[in-house]
Structure 1
Amino acid sequence: MQFGNIRTPQGWRLGEIHWDKGRISRIRGESVDPDTNDHPRVLPGFIDLHVHGGGGADVMEGGEALAILARTHVRFGTTRLLATTMTAPDTHIRQTLREVAAYMEAPVLQAAQVLGVHLEGPYINPGKLGAQPAYARVGMTEELDELCALAPIRLITLAPELSGHLALIQYLSERGVRVQLGHTLGSYEEGVEALANGASGFAHLFNAMTGLHHRKPGMVGAALAHAQYAEVIPDLLHVHPGAIRTALRCIPNLYAVTDSTAAAGMHDGDYRLGEHTVTKCLGGVRLADGTLAGSTLTMDQALRNLVSLGLSLAEASDRLSRYPADFLGISDIGRLQEGASADLVVLDPQLQIKAVVVEGRTIQGDT
């Protein structure tokens, strides 16, 4: 049981939330404005759909690295995540998928739950790699079938302009795999066509895609004009606050991701990102040439950053929990209601974490 200002789909309630066998069994309380008291703020657990690493561990390392990053991110309120791959040789990707599947069969406790895989590449434009290693290539349906058989791939980031990718988008979307557009040199028109063929969103909006110009709207323009969903990295380094505000006005279900690397939750220094070495310094992570390479962002800081931009706590919460759950089509996470998974983040009035609960298990703090 947890007492506090509870963020439910019907609004804030000051009262108690109870759970049994990992599910919310009862919520009792009266309507309240949480700004009128100092009781804890109780939010749905954060859902991060773009996680490369944390705690010094990288997804592409497989094995114990998955447990380390899951234990790291839960400390910052993430209760569910997608293990996100890097562009790599085919054999390395396949081995990583096997490792993720094995981990999901026997996950560690006291950790965020891994929902599946976000395959970021290798089906991206070699001219827009960002921090991705140079193994980009065109995707084929037969190969995707084989990869999906190795692990539950829930989300794929690809470049729609590559030959055959429109058909691939349609093929994947018909099979329930979400496709988002990213690491792309595609035009506005190609972005709109990809959405019409089943693409669902955009990877790290503004980053690693063609920008907005008034005569060439680019992939950013396609997102701002047509998207219902897109992910954004609100570390206030990858995207200017003004650009985030623009996206918030244009994309109804814009949601936050960390795009975190092994450097998340760690001190400054060198870390792995796929086959790259990246350096954490001055709050960012970069390749040797200065290219931004993922982030050190955690979801609790993403929440505070969104609130600092003027969002209410309720709206910021939706963009860290409900919208990513809705994007994946999962209805029993990302919201505090009877029957949903008992995934909670408990914050003090300054939005610092007091406790995290995953499927009814207290991970941190007292509840």
Structure 2
Amino acid sequence: MTCLKGQFLTPDGFLLGTVTVAPQGRIAAVEGVPQSEAQARSSGLPLYLPGFIDTHVHGGGGADTMEGGEAVRQLARTHARHGTTSLLATTMTAPLDDIRAALQALAPACATRGAQEARVLGVHLEGPYISPGRLGAQPDYVKPLALSELLALHALAPIRLITLAPELPGHLAVIPDLVAQGMRVQIGHSNGGYEDGVAALQAGAHGFTHLFNAMSALHHREPGMVGAALAHADHAELIPDLIHVHPGAIRTALRAIPRLFCVTDSTSASGMPDGEYRLGRHTVTKCLGGVRLADGTLAGSTLTMDQALRNLVNALGLSLADASRRCSTYAADYLGLNDRGRIAVGAHADVVELNADLRLQATYVEGERIECHAG
């Protein structure tokens, strides 16, 4: 048994006490006395939060999901050192042969977690079923969605989440079939309007991919896809690097979408020095804290989840408990995982240890301690 001592954020609030981790990597006991958040943060003791869950990870540590295999394990190790305990390996729009090859290569990482790695829960398929008018940094290999083709991809590696543009022919009709297969359907890279977004949600779509980015904007006479999200969504991804979305827009989304949750949309440049990196078939440049194509288009991010948490607390003024839910619990619930994203008996021992400045000290992935980057 491993015993952790300090201030723990549980579903019932902060506790000063101990958490016991069984050898199998699950939480066996949570014991302590209730604390206010102010007491917990001022105590000088380690702060333990649920491990971060990132549903949108293209790369990290110089490795890109589309390379498959060892690249996915490298990005899983990189993000674990920044507090991510589980993630979805996220693809890029590409020719189907490239996507097939990537899924075949990353399937072993979905089946078995290696030492010092975040758990790879499955795949977020971001494209090729998106609008050519809202590519963002996606290459232009878009195509109509054929259910048989998608199920063949799903057989190679588990697709937990799929991004699609609902306004494209046939996409709205196929959403119920995707949901029946256990996939979460997200609206994104879409040029559709408000009505398209509402219709997709009514058909069973669950949320929105990197809200505000690569979708039709809000106008008071044409609410667009952003308007559909703000008016009707319970869940949506958001990239809180303070580059992709203005803090004012983030605050608007926080007031409108109850379970808005954070993602990194990270690239292979995450955790790496400035320079050139791969993003699918693109070459991207990391500089000044961002990642861009040659024409200046934002191309994913260098964000890590520990920095996302600090941005929510320090720049946007959220409580630590609220920020934690948006970096962990809401994503777990969204994916239907009641044994992750919370410090509770029976849950996986996925925990991050922070100091008083919210700098990461260690990550525990299913009970395994991983030393972290404190920056």
Given that 2:59 and 2:75 are in contact with CA atoms closer than 8 Å, whether structure 1 keeps it comes out as yes
Residue identity opposite 1:137 in structure 2: K
Aligned partner (choices 9, 12, 20) of residue 18 of structure 1: 20
Structure 1 residue 236 and structure 2 residue 239: aligned? no
What per-residue deviation string (whole Å, max 9, x for no partner) do you get for residues 120-146 of structure 1? 000000111000001011101111111
Residue identity opposite 2:258 in structure 1: P
SS in 2 for 1:236: coil
Further displaced range: 106-115 or 3-12: 106-115
Structure 1 residue 151 and structure 2 residue 157: aligned? yes
Structure 2 counterpart of 1:164: 170
Structure 1 counterpart of 2:348: 341
Residue identity opposite 2:321 in structure 1: A
Matches within 5 A, 1:91-130: 91-130=97-136
Q: Distance in 2 between matches of 1:316 and 1:292?
A: 25
Q: Distance in 2 between matches of 1:328 and 1:113?
A: 14
Question: Identical aligned pairs, as a percentage?
Answer: 64
TM-score by length of 2: 0.96
Structure 1 counterpart of 2:216: 210
Q: CA deviation at 1:181?
A: 0.4
Structure 1 residue 358 and structure 2 residue 365: aligned? yes
Gaps of 5+ in 2: none
Q: Distance in 2 between matches of 1:104 and 1:231?
A: 22
Q: Distance in 2 between matches of 1:101 and 1:294?
A: 23
Structure 2 counterpart of 1:201: 207
Given that 1:231 and 1:256 are in contact with CA atoms closer than 8 Å, whether structure 2 keeps it comes out as yes
Matches within 5 A, 1:270-281: 270-281=276-287
Q: Distance in 2 between matches of 1:260 and 1:355?
A: 20
Q: CA deviation at 1:208?
A: 0.1
Q: CA deviation at 1:106?
A: 3.9
What per-residue deviation string (whole Å, max 9, x for no partner) do you get for residues 195-215 of structure 1? 000000000000000000000
Given that 1:126 and 1:137 are in contact with CA atoms closer than 8 Å, whether structure 2 keeps it comes out as no
Q: CA deviation at 1:14?
A: 0.5
Q: Distance in 2 between matches of 1:102 and 1:333?
A: 21
SS in 1 for 2:327: coil
Residue identity opposite 2:48 in structure 1: V
What per-residue deviation string (whole Å, max 9, x for no partner) do you get for residues 84-117 of structure 1? 0000000110111111112233432111110000
Q: Distance in 2 between matches of 1:185 and 1:35?
A: 44
Given that 2:41 and 2:47 are in contact with CA atoms closer than 8 Å, whether structure 1 keeps it comes out as no
What per-residue deviation string (whole Å, max 9, x for no partner) do you get for residues 294-335 of structure 1? 000000000000002010000000001100001111110000
SS in 2 for 1:122: coil
Q: Distance in 1 between matches of 2:95 and 2:320?
A: 42
Q: Distance in 2 between matches of 1:98 and 1:107?
A: 16
Q: CA deviation at 1:42?
A: 0.3
Q: CA deviation at 1:63?
A: 1.7
Residue identity opposite 2:20 in structure 1: H
Q: CA deviation at 1:67?
A: 1.2
Structure 2 counterpart of 1:135: 141
Q: CA deviation at 1:291?
A: 0.1
Given that 2:110 and 2:157 are in contact with CA atoms closer than 8 Å, whether structure 1 keeps it comes out as no
Q: CA deviation at 1:359?
A: 0.5
Matches within 5 A, 1:51-70: 51-70=57-76
Structure 2 counterpart of 1:317: 324
Structure 1 residue 296 and structure 2 residue 302: aligned? yes
Structure 1 counterpart of 2:32: 29
Question: How many corresponding residue pairs?
Answer: 365
Structure 2 counterpart of 1:6: 8
Q: Distance in 2 between matches of 1:212 and 1:259?
A: 22
Given that 2:165 and 2:191 are in contact with CA atoms closer than 8 Å, whether structure 1 keeps it comes out as yes
SS in 2 for 1:321: helix
Aligned partner (choices 83, 86, 91) of residue 92 of structure 2: 86
Q: Distance in 1 between matches of 2:183 and 2:202?
A: 15
TM-score by length of 1: 0.98
Residue identity opposite 2:362 in structure 1: A
Structure 1 residue 226 and structure 2 residue 221: aligned? no
Q: CA deviation at 1:43?
A: 0.3
